[in-house]
A and B are shown apart, each in its own frame.
Chain A
Amino acid sequence: MNIGNGKRFLPEGRHLMMGNVAMAEGALSSGLKFFGGYPITPSTEVIEHLAVRLPQVGGICMQMEDELASINSVIGASLVGAKSMTATSGPGLSLMVETISMAANLEVPFVFCDVQRNGPGTGFVTEPHHNDIGLVRFSGNGEFQVIALAPMTCQELFDLTITAFNYAETYRCPVYILSDAYLGHLHEIVNIPPKEEIRKRVIDRELPPPDQFVKKFTYKDDITGEFVIPRPPQMGTDYCPVLFLHQPHNYEGLPTPKPMQFMKAIMDKINKNKDKICITEKYKLDDADIVIIAYGLPVRSSYRAVDIARKENIKVGIFRLVTVWPFPDKQVKEVVKDARAVIVPELNYTGYIAEQVERVTKLGTPVIKIPKVCEFHHPDDILNVIREVAK
């Protein structure tokens, strides 16, 4: 089912690209075969670009009748063995959550691009606002784990989309790319690596060897105690359960009266692999006593703020979360261990990640939120807080 022809890759070199387009190209490079979408500002460019590019490489881009249909068609295509994705914004995501919950149960791999916009309700449709951070983690009925990646440049939108597809294939859970209205419409230079290099990076949808056809869903190995995640089953082949039933099921896909065992499988397959999943970046953290924890666009302002503050001999560093969910508890705990204060600039008012940081910091360490809604953090906004803390 993988797309074999070389047209899916852009020519090697530097390209000026819009964020949404870079993400679409990243998806194409990782072998996207089916895209089901519904136009919604600010993610419309994704479906527009893929409507041109996907038929050229033998894929399918469908504009469905609504968001519910688009996510369901994505699940259907993924069950048949096509790498599939959808792109939408906050209001679309809130329509799609019921199916995401079903997909998490059936362990259907798919990639979900959320180009976030202002809310609640319709909001200002072209303004950035990281207000779906909580929704993506706690979306849908039932308990399940998701992976969410937060890029901050167009280059990363390209690279992390490939990573997202690999995560979807490996961990078989909903994988989100958290873009926003600002990043989606940003035009930047993207360096496209050569075809061979991308091919090496991509994990293709393949069937396991025939002797491993029995176990199709995540299970706990009795001997090693590890969670084994088999390759995604494909309809139309022998590697397919008799029925895809979204009830607590065993590794064969048959309903089981042991929901606890099933719950452990779908939660702990992520929890136990956190070290492999979580991507983080450190910037001038070695001697820092003030730590900035950020993800997505606010990181870019933080870089500038830290550089200026360092000139003023304030010891401050940045800990960047590339993987927002699952939240890297262990790494953050390590970083904030000796911190005097933690600053969390976020493009929302609630401070979804600040709350998570508060959970792992010691009592008494102040966690200072810098909320911004619909506008970019100016480096001065962060710098002022740094100066105040350093006094």
Chain B
Amino acid sequence: MPEIGRMLPNEKPEHPYVIFSYGGSMYKNFATRFCSGCGYGIIGHIFTRLFEDEKLDPHLYPTIIGIGCYSQMLLLVHAKSQKILALHGRAPAVATGIKMANPNMKPIIFSGDGDCLGIGGNHFIHVCRRNLDCVIFIFNNSIYAMTGGQGAPTTLYGATSSTTPYKMFENRSDGVQLALAAGATYVARTTVAHPRTYIKYFKKALNHKGTSVIEVITPCVTYFGRKNLDNLGAEYIGLEGKKMDTGGKMIDWIKRNTVRINQAKFMSEEELFNKYVIGEFRYQPDKPEYSEEYAKIQKIAMKEE
């Protein structure tokens, strides 16, 4: 078995930005490990494209990746960006160390719903509270997909998963509301069905000094779509649902199940139940940032000496 991730001698990369390939492995010439219909391809593509178009310095924009399906993205996203695979849920803590030890850097954190709102909830809250200069992506596919479709803190009410075989009865955790309460200064939610909005928010987050939290709703066909009906989030109408067993059907469902923030203001709580509200929730560019505040403390301490 030759080494994974190495090019074979006569092999060419499938994409100019991607140096890795699965050449020599059982997935020969297989550009991605993601299932068909997965949204992470779109996310990885947007990240790589923006990294190149914005001419980001790979030395100053390290990528910290949590554990989940999106961990595979580290082989897909921009080759030159320096990447760390952090432990499950600990990516915001690693980013804190990186940012503080080298304040010129701006860490970009990839995390999922289980990673950021489940096991790493505490780190997520406190990085938002400190307003540390970083970008946090929460990729929300409302399921633990890598381990085989277990229920997540974000699983919609009534959905089926392998640990909630009858139906999900727990309350849903909302990453955006949590970030708002914790004090993040740029909070937005978008979906992979709205890639242009996603690019717009990402660009804004890169130019924002402070914690930017962007939740991205992404489809998981294999473990969420196949097991659930597309009337989730619209039960009150009494629709008869169909299985969401292809990527297209899930994208359709995501589009149907999202509400813009200015539209949501006029909707009742019952109508918003199990729906995703998308848009920009907060933008406070003038709030003090943690590493800058710490530099002030250092100045005070040095003068006292």
Contact = CB atoms under 8 A, between A and B. Distances in A.
A331 interface: no
A34 B298 CA distance: 13
A56 B96 contact: no
A79 B98 contact: yes
Given A244-B85, A257-B3, A76 B59 contact: no
B82 A74 contact: no
Interface residues of B, number: 45
B98 A76 contact: yes
A257 B123 CA distance: 33
B31 interface: no
B126 A245 contact: no
B178 interface: no
Interface stretch (B43-51, B99-107, B187-195, B196-204): B99-107
A223 interface: no
Could you say which of B97, B297, B298 has the most chain A C-beta atoms within 10 Å of its C-beta?
B97
Given A72-B87, A72-B90, A243-B83, A257 B101 contact: no
A74 B94 CA distance: 8
Given A65-B122, A245-B74, A254-B5, A72 B86 contact: yes
Interface in A160-207: none
Given A236-B60, A254-B5, A102 B97 contact: no
A235 B74 contact: no
B304 interface: yes
Contact of A56 (B4, B19, B101, B305): B305
A54 to B, nearest CB: 8
Contacts of B87: 72, 98-99, 102
Contacts of A243: 74-75, 82-85
A102 B94 CA distance: 12
Given A245-B74, A255-B4, A235 B302 contact: no
Nearest to A98: B87
Contact of B100 (A7, A60, A72): A60
Contacts of B126: 64-65, 69
A237 B3 CA distance: 26
A66 B90 CA distance: 11
B101 A84 contact: yes
Contacts of B100: 34, 60, 62, 73, 77
Contact of B298 (A58, A66, A81, A102): A58
Contacts of B97: 34, 36, 72-80, 84
Contacts of A212: none
Nearest to A60: B100
Contact of A73 (B6, B82, B93): B93
Nearest to B129: A65
A208 interface: no
B239 interface: no
Contact of A80 (B3, B74, B98): B98
A246 B302 contact: no
Interface in B115-149: 122-123, 125-126
Contacts of A73: 93-94, 96-97, 100
Nearest to A65: B126
Contact of A99 (B5, B90, B101): B90
Contacts of A34: 97, 100-101
Contacts of A62: 96, 100
Nearest to B107: A76
29 contacts: A1-B101, A1-B102, A34-B97, A52-B301, A56-B302, A56-B304, A64-B93, A64-B96, A68-B123, A69-B96, A72-B93, A72-B97, A73-B96, A75-B94, A75-B97, A76-B95, A77-B97, A80-B98, A81-B102, A84-B101, A99-B87, A235-B62, A235-B82, A236-B59, A236-B60, A236-B62, A237-B59, A246-B85, A255-B5
Interface of B: 1-6, 19, 59-60, 62, 64, 74-75, 79, 82-87, 90, 92-98, 100-102, 104-105, 122-123, 125-126, 294, 297-298, 300-302, 304-305
Given A80-B98, A235-B82, 15 more contacts: A55-B300, A68-B123, A76-B64, A76-B98, A81-B102, A235-B84, A236-B62, A236-B82, A243-B83, A244-B83, A245-B85, A255-B4, A255-B5, A256-B4, A257-B1
Interface of A: 1, 7, 33-34, 36, 52, 55-56, 58, 60, 62, 64-66, 68-70, 72-82, 84, 98-99, 102, 235-237, 240, 242-246, 250, 254-257
